[in-house]
Structure 1
Amino acid sequence: MGMLNHGSGNPVSERKEGISRRKLLVSLGMAGAAAALSQTTLLEAGGAERPSVSHAVYGTGGQPGECCVTLTVSGLRASTEPYTLVYITDPGHEGWFHADANDSLSADNTGTVLVNTSGIRFKRHYGEAIHAKWFGAKGDGSTDDTGAIQSALDSVPAAGGTVYIADGVYRIDAVRELRPASNTTLLLSPGAVLKAIPNDKERFAVINIINKENVTVRGGTVVGERNEHLGTTGEWGMGISIRSSRNVTVCDTIVRDCWGDGIYLGTNDSQNPRVECEQIKIIRVTCENNRRQGMSVTACKGGIALASRFNKTNGTEPQSGIDLEPNGTVVVTDFAVIGCECNDNAGSGIGIYGTTDTNARNIILESNSCLHNTRGIQIRSASNNKVLFNNCSDNTDMGIRIAINTRSVITEHNDIMGNTAARNGGKGISVEGTATSRIRHNTISGNDCLNNAQEGIGVTYSQYTHVADNRSNGNLYGIRLVGTTSQFNDLSGNFCIENVYGIQLWQSSYNKITGNTCSENKQAGLWLRKESHHNELLSNTCIGNSQAAHNVYDNILVMENSGFNNLQLNTARKGNGAARAAYGIRIQSADCSDNLVANNDMLDGGETASYLDGGSGTTTLAGNRL
């Protein structure tokens, strides 16, 4: 019996004969051997972090050479023998293989299948995962590991499996891309980095999941090449691209420094008709310092971004943390963004943009942080969406914006509820239409709009807006309605305190202003200007306005051709501070005609007088208390 060696010389002479435990394994058959080997765990399969497979088979002290052949990969390939079990010794490739007499077709892939010169297929025994290093991935920061990792992905059985990437920096040719198959989990250790090799292309991705289902990417870091990119055009160099796929999860992964988006959800554009993604989950992901978007959702039916971060997007428009924007006539619907950070982006924290009248809908943005962006949250030409309990503060422009874009003039039935919009450089919450748009039936309720540079809540050229139970304090305007088509809006139960102006209507008619508190504002509490007519001002409380100058401004003021308004059941008091309002209710001039002032409580309403009627044709009934 010759001495056993490890891969040199004639492979036939390397076989160790007559070992009783080997005979025992042979007598058990491959099912028994596999049962013994199945004790290995995920990390044991790589031969590094946990006790060896030989330990599982033999117990303490067992060595591979005691029962079977030990060879290098090249030694096994050069052999002609149908070994029952072979232990491969190459560093990073260690593991057990057995001959599969029933397979004559599988290709040698270095990692899980080795073929010797006799054409015998040897199959690797492994537990929970296939290791990329088995296929030659180095992770040394200098080797192109694209082919090795793709080979590992290609080795996953059709029924499913996991590819594991250990700590290291793996350079990836993002033009070739990594493409997991269906039913695959790509598991990266916390110290694993997939780093894109610089290129000059406009379109590419480090990981591209296209027309697949049941795929998971978990852990590790994906790094783009925005700082080393060799071209100057294009904006579609993605970290992770998911197209026309369903049941895909990205979890606990960092994606940064991409030429385009960190994560992209869209369609396989070569399909006709194009197919949206479905049921996509983005969980505890960080997308940071990407050039175009943190994440774009351009075609998706059902999905969620949960407890993730989309921060510091900058470089080329739109530069948003998350952009939910259908690409053409496909849809984004039933998607939720919950508990995410979308901060410090050069564009919006989160944007919803429709490209038809109905293709961005049923989207929920809840409990997100949208701070230090240009705009916190934008909804443009999109309907039937909900923005709930978000913090949209300290943005350079607006906190929350509802508007239209150039592709659709309809924005309807959106609910903006329970949000905080504070210290923004523009408006806290803005509803912005045009004279020809259809921005209607939107609800703004229960929000805190505090210390914004312009309006706490601004409604322009919009109809049937329900603005209720908001706290709008410390702004230039608490609430402002503007535009000849700002009609049929309902403002009720709002607190507008310590603004420059409480509530103002400018060229805005046929609105109902009911049950609001407008007190201690610097100028007028409730103010109708510039041909605002046929409005109802009912049961509002206006106390102690004119804080900017004693006895100058009024609690309720009607001026500049504002006529046919109904002022009833309002309460006006001058206040008892050092600065007090001049009039409780004042109809300023004769061009304000045919207003009705009835049943108001103006007792002690102003420092100069409780009531001044400078209008024409005013109907003043005895029910007023002066």
Structure 2
Amino acid sequence: MTDEKRKSTIGRNGKRFIAGLLGLVLVGVILISFGGGTPDEEKVDLPETAGADLPPPDSDSVGTGTDDDSESSDEQSALYAEKGFLNAKNPPSPLKGAAGDGITDDTVALQNIIDYCVENSKDLYVPAGTYMIKAGKGVDTPFETRDGQGLFIEGSMELYADAGATFKLLPTASPVPTLLTIRNTSDVTVSGGNWIGERDEHLDTAGEGGTLIVISCCDYVHISNVVVKDAWGDGMAVYNSPPYKDSSLSSYIYIDSAYVDRCGRNGLTIGGVKEMYVTNSVFNGMDRTMPKAGVDIEPDGIQPMADNVSFYKCTFSNNGVQGLTYGFGNGARNVSVKSCEFFGNGTVDINIAAVKKTPMKGTVIENNLFSNTLRFSIGMSNTFNAEISGNQMYAATKNAGSGCFYLAEVSDINITENYMEGFLCIIDNTEIGASEGITLHKNVYKLCGSEYLR
């Protein structure tokens, strides 16, 4: 789809949505600028949407969908009904309501309701319950041949799910089991709900693909207050991909207050995207197949370089290999990581490892806490133009060869006012390639066998 056609799909909430974004874009500019400090606010303000004045779904715990949730769910149902939201269990005739009983396959019922909302400029509230969904093939499935597999949002709408609403994939042998795909559209909000895969019930042992929530070729998508767990592959993914083989980037993507846990490959995979903001989110325990990262920014194939991606007040913990990694494929630039926490990741907390044709630039790593990671807090290769300041770095001091920084063939790197503890504080591997323009200023080194080893 062309950029002109995609922009024309910004629906009834588009002007209000874009107006609300202006404030966040200004925040984003601050977050990605080299001189910006840590914002004073506890949370970044997110765009106003039609449901903003309604009680947000509670993401503190996974909802059970049992009778214990019924009172609060009834109250929320009434509030959303007053705002004109359709109810997934009781939609207008001739639509069939979803059962949400943990037994019935609700794929077709929910898809028909979603399509009705898109076609009639309606929004959807999903009450407490467990909705069983047949695994889809994701972005590679044309609209005409969805065959009742997976859920698709292909037009402007808002979907709000109760804290006790669980969307659960039925077991499958598909190598790419997908739960929800948002594609080729603009102005979509998905808030609340527990989006659960079938990792432990998967009917095959091969493959690493599949994603619980996919955003492809979209503009102005806001995901918030979701629990995403137990994917066979990735928890969430954002990119541009088939069947829309144009150069369109996904842009202005917002993920706030997401809890992503125990997915097989990555918690979040980011491909070709411009302007993406991830705030107040947790990426924990990705451990089945490589890269085993909390977040992996890796646009490949036809996907252009990722540009302007910001992480603020996020946690990257207990992932098999990496907390956050980027630089492979077609690369990334202007990545900002501020006020985040990294701990317990298997090898490295932040891994910036570019291929030589796409050196990374514009990295800002500021005011983060790194602790209890096996090898390195930050690893960088083929990277230039980076500001790393105000971080507290506690490497695994008992492990020989561990450290706070691992550098190889980097340039124009400013390392300023960081606190470092590690077996080795900074390792500059000249065997891979010479580094130049490394500025060290007002850093504190403690318990380091060597402050700077070349």
TM-score with structure 1 setting the length: 0.54
Are the aligned partners of 2:235 and 2:263 in contact in 1 as well (CA < 8 Å)?
yes
Alignment partners' CA distance in 2, 1:51 and 1:280? 27
TM-superposed deviation, 1:292:
0.2
Paired with 1:270 and 1:228, the residues of 2 have a C-alpha distance of 29
**SS of residue matched to 2:163:** coil
Partner of 1:133: helix, strand, or coil?
coil
1:13 corresponds in structure 2 to none
Corresponding position of 1:330: 304
CA distance in 1, matches of 2:439, 2:336: 19
The structure with the largest helix share of the pair is 2
Partner of 2:391: 419
Q: Given that residues 449 and 457 in structure 1 are in contact (C-alpha distance below 8 angstroms), is that contact kept between their aligned partners in structure 2?
A: no
Segment of structure 1 superposing worse, 190-199 or 268-277: 268-277
Aligned counterpart in structure 1 of residue 404 of structure 2, from 417, 429, 433:
429
The match for 2:365 is 387
Q: Which has the higher contact order (CA 8 A, sep 6+)?
A: 2
Shift of 1:325: 1.7
Task: Say if 1:377 and 1:392, in contact at 8 Å, map to a contact too.
Answer: no
Asked if 2 retains the 8 angstrom alpha-carbon contact of 1:129 and 1:164, the reply is yes
Q: Is the 8 A contact 2:376 2:406 kept in 1?
A: no
Distance in 2 between the 1:236 and 1:261 partners? Answer: 7
Structure 1 residues 51 and 251 mapped into 2: Cα distance closer, same or farther (>3 Å)?
closer
Report the residue type matching 1:457 in the other structure: I
Which residue, out of 446, 459, 463, partners 2:417? Answer: 446
Q: Quick one: distance in 1 between partners of 2:436 and 2:76?
A: 71
Question: In the TM superposition, what are the counterparts of 1:92-107 in structure 2 within 5 Å?
Answer: none
Aligned match of 2:429: 460
Match of 1:370, as an amino acid? Answer: F
- Of residues 106, 110, 113, the one that matches 1:145 is 106
Alignment correspondent of 2:84: 128
Q: Identical aligned pairs, as a percentage?
A: 26
Distance in 1 between the 2:207 and 2:118 partners? 36
Matching residue of 2:128:
167
Distance 1:287 1:50, change over 3 A: closer
- Secondary structure (helix, strand or coil) at the match of 1:278 reads strand
Query: Within 5 Å, which residues of 2 pair with 1:21-40?
Result: none
**In 2 relative to 1, CA 386–51 (structure 1 residues): closer, same or farther, beyond 3 Å?**
closer
Whether 1:267 and 2:240 are equivalent positions in the alignment is yes
Of residues 333, 348, 365, the one that matches 2:322 is 348
**Contact 2:407-2:426 at 8 Å conserved across structures:** no
- Distance in 2, matches of 1:145 and 1:347, equals 36
- Distance, in Å, in 2 between the alignment partners of 1:128 and 1:340 is 34
Q: Shift of residue 50 of structure 1?
A: 6.1
Alignment correspondent of 2:336: 364
Please give the secondary structure, in 2, of the residue aligned with 1:150.
helix
* 1:361 CA drift (Å): 0.2
Is the counterpart of residue 400 in structure 1 residue 357 in structure 2?
no
Are 1:188 and 1:220, in contact at CA under 8 Å, matched by a contact in 2? yes
For the pair shown, the structure with the greater C-alpha radius of gyration is 1
TM-superposed CA distance for 1:476, in Å, is: 1.5
Structure 1 unaligned regions, length at least 5: 1-40, 43-47, 54-124, 404-409, 483-626
For residue 449 of structure 2, the aligned residue among 476, 497, 503 is: 476
1:150 and 1:159, CA in 2 relative to 1: closer, same or farther beyond 3 A?
A: closer
Task: Specify whether residues 411 and 49 from structure 1 end up closer, same or farther in structure 2 by C-alpha distance, changes over 3 A only.
Answer: closer
Change (3 A) 1:50 1:472: closer
> Does 1:218 pair with 2:191?
yes
Q: What does residue range 180-199 of structure 1 map to in structure 2 within 5 Å?
A: 180-199=153-172
Amino acid at match of 2:304: V
Picking from 280, 288, 306, the partner of 2:253 is 280
Relative to 1, partners in 2 of residues 1:51 and 1:215: Cα closer, same or farther, differing over 3 Å?
closer
Residue 423 of structure 1 deviates from its aligned partner by 3.3
Aligned partners of 1:251, 1:215: CA distance in 2, in Å? 11
1:531-583 deviations in Å (ceiling 9; x for gaps): xxxxxxxxxxxxxxxxxxxxxxxxxxxxxxxxxxxxxxxxxxxxxxxxxxxxx
* 1:444-463 superposed Cα distances (whole Å, 9 cap, x missing partner): 1111111x12x112222211
- TM-score (norm. length: structure 2): 0.74
Question: Are 1:200 and 1:230, in contact at CA under 8 Å, matched by a contact in 2?
Answer: yes
Query: Deviations 1:400-459 (Å, cap 9, x if unpaired)?
Result: 1112xxxxxx321122211111132444332432xxxx4211121111111x12x11222
Report if aligned partners of 1:276, 1:331 keep a CA contact under 8 Å in 2. Answer: no
Specify the code of the residue in structure 1 equivalent to 2:179: V
**Gapped runs of 5+ residues in structure 2?**
1-53, 56-72, 91-95, 137-148, 355-359
Q: Distance in 2 between matches of 1:157 and 1:147?
A: 15
- Structure 2: distance between partners of 1:178 and 1:280: 19
Amino acid at match of 1:249: H
Tell me which residue corresponds to 2:223. Answer: 250
Number of paired residues? 352
Give SS of 1:441's match: strand
Cα-to-partner distance string for 1:276-304 (whole Å, 9 max, x where unaligned): 21000000000000000011111210011
Q: Does residue 286 of structure 2 align to residue 339 of structure 1?
A: no
Distance in 1 (CA, whole Å) between partners of 2:271 and 2:166 is 27
Q: Which residue of the partner structure matches residue 209 of structure 2?
A: 236
State whether residues 198 and 229 of structure 1, in contact with CA within 8 Å, keep that contact through their aligned partners in structure 2: yes
